[in-house]
Amino acid sequence: MAIATKTVKRPTQLRLPIIPENSGESVLNEKDAVFTDPNFSSNKTLPIHRWVPWIAGFSSGFVKSALNGYLKKKGTVLDTFCGVGTTIVEATLGGHNAIGFEINPYAALASRVKANAYHLDLNEFASAIEDFRRFYKKMATSNYEPQSAPPQGFKTRALFYNPLVLHKVLTVQDFVLSIEDDNLRDLFRLAFASTMVSYSNYSYEPSLGRRVSAGREEIHDFPVAKAITDKLFDMMEDITWMQEKMERNNLEVQIINDSFFNCSNHLSPDSIDLVITSPPYLNNYHYNRNTRPQLYWLGYAHSPDDLKKIENMNFGKFWQTVRDLDRLDLSFALPNTDIGERLQTLRTLNNEKGTYGGNGWANYAAAYFNDCHRFAEGIHYVLKCGGTALVVIGNSILQGVMIPTDEYFGKIAESVGLELVKIDIPRATRVGNSIIQSDVRVGKAKLHHQLYEAVVVLRKS
């Protein structure tokens, strides 16, 4: 049987600045090390990384430079909030063992599939793609009635898919469910999940919302099979590139669909050489709600209670979950800082607005820093002596009050026994969001109200 494939071209290798190398396991002059911009936007066109669109994260170039600078021989790399797997993929490409924690099962699926893709048999993958094309063509030219159905618990204000599109999506689902090999089936599931919003009546602006609310027309028909097949061909092209780049080795890749706060249930103490991670920022962005379509259509959620479980595991909670509490304070002491005074200032603002006033936002910030403390304790638990943690974190502005999250987190890390090597700011300006007071937008802000992104460098002595 002839197998239809695309011509596979090796992507152009990018020239990326890296941290200066030396003969040790970590850079000797860490305080002078220069990080690349962690902005994730370049990932959208890079092999493997381009498979899944994601609203945030850091760039593969940043991770690559960190690996080159801080890990000179094969080691174990950990991402405590691994998202769709930038750190995990780059660590694997670099020949390191990799471990990721991720509470969102859709993101965990993406990380696992991407990092392990180089083990795949390309002939079997190509054959499966051809089977899909034949199946879909046959069903599209008949009066085929799909056996699959939309997830019952998935509710939206307007039709997520219009009828013609829905029929095509359900036909695709029938084929995916017929794939017996788990690894191949997961590739198809990921191809569908990563494209599914693009032919729906919703879009990311950047949060998930109706297309019409953003001034865009609904989608009444769409070449669904072509969109998925194109994604599958991109995957096959990238896997070919990955297999050429990597040796067939026995790297250990582990994606743990659990909170890093439970790390002692999964990892031994003193077991990690390098942590490269970025916790959710203090900006109330709801990653889980924005992946609600994928969670339901992939079978990870069946009711709002399933989403609630993930929400309750989120780092820093959400403003909506703590805003109505009378008062939520820090659970730890942090002397020689103004964190307590700054939270108290925030707590006194705009109280006439009730739920939307400063007290709720102070509760949210306190919950966030309480989790920062637990996070730092976890880093101390997993790192080997001499191991390094690179934590990308952004500051925030709540009710007009600037919160230097990076500085506070560095102090918190010191309080649990980690050494604060330095705080580097490779990205001095980043875009804000709706929680910033309307007259303190980035473009008009004073210097002390500027949003930035920092790398907090920690070491376990």
DSSP string, 293-310: HHHHHTTS-SSHHHHHHH
Residues 368, 317: Cα–Cα separation, whole Å: 7
Largest CA distance in the chain: 73
Backbone angles phi, psi at 441, to 5 degrees: -70, 160
Q: Are 58 and 90 in contact (CB under 8 A)?
A: no
Q: What is the pTM of this model?
A: 0.87
Residue type, 213: S
**CA 405 to chain CA centroid, nearest Å:** 19
> pLDDT per position in the chain (461 positions), as tens?
333 333 333 223 222 233 333 323 333 345 555 566 555 566 778 999 999 988 767 788 999 999 999 998 999 999 999 999 999 999 999 999 999 999 999 999 999 999 999 999 999 999 999 999 999 999 999 999 999 999 999 999 999 999 999 999 999 999 999 999 999 999 999 999 999 999 999 999 888 999 999 999 999 999 999 999 999 999 999 999 999 988 766 789 999 999 999 999 999 999 999 999 999 999 888 778 899 999 999 999 999 999 999 999 999 988 999 999 999 999 999 999 999 999 999 999 998 998 899 999 999 999 999 999 999 999 999 999 999 999 999 999 999 999 999 999 999 999 999 999 999 998 776 655 434 443 333 333 344 468 999 999 999 99
Q: Quickly count helices (H) and strands (E) in the chain.
A: 14, 11
* Segments making up each domain of the chain, as ranges: 319-461
Residues 192, 298: Cα–Cα separation, whole Å: 9
- HSE-up (13 A, CA, CB side) for residue 101: 26
Cα–Cα–Cα angle for 154, 159, 164, nearest 5°?
A: 110
Residues 42, 131: Cα–Cα separation, whole Å: 33
Residues 365, 346: Cα–Cα separation, whole Å: 9
Stated as kind and residue range, the H or E segment containing 245 is: helix 224-245
